[in-house]
Amino acid sequence: MIDELKQIKELASKPLTNDIDTRRVEIIMLKFKEAPEVIDKAIHNIIHNTEHPFKLTIFDNRLNSANTSKIWNKLISETTCDYILLIDSDAFVPKCSPCWLSRMMESIDETGLVVPVSSCGGGYRQHVLKPQTYPSFKMNNDIWSGFCFLFKKELYEKVGKFDERFYIYGQDSEWAFRNKKDGAVMRTDTLVEHLGSYSFNSDPIRENDKLYARELFKYLTKK
**Residue 126 pLDDT:** 47
**What's the pLDDT tens digit per position in 54-111?**
999 999 876 656 689 999 999 999 999 999 999 999 999 999 999 999 999 999 999 9
**Residue 35 pLDDT:** 80
How many other CB atoms sit within 10 Å of the CB of residue 83? Answer: 26
User: In angstroms, how far is CA 156 from the centroid of its own chain?
Assistant: 12
Q: How many domains does the chain have?
A: 1
**Residue 127 pLDDT:** 44
**Residue 69 pLDDT:** 92
Range of the domain at 202: 2-221
Closest to 104 measured CA to CA, from 146, 57, 148: 148
Tell me which H or E stretch contains 109. helix 108-111
**Residue 23 pLDDT:** 95
Strands 91-92 and 184-194, bridge-based pairing: antiparallel
Q: Which residues contact 181 (CB under 8 A, 6 or more apart)?
A: none
**Residue 164 pLDDT:** 94
Which parts of the chain have pLDDT scores under 70?
1-16, 62-66, 119-134, 140-143, 197-205, 223
The CATH number of residue 46's host domain is: 3.90.550.10
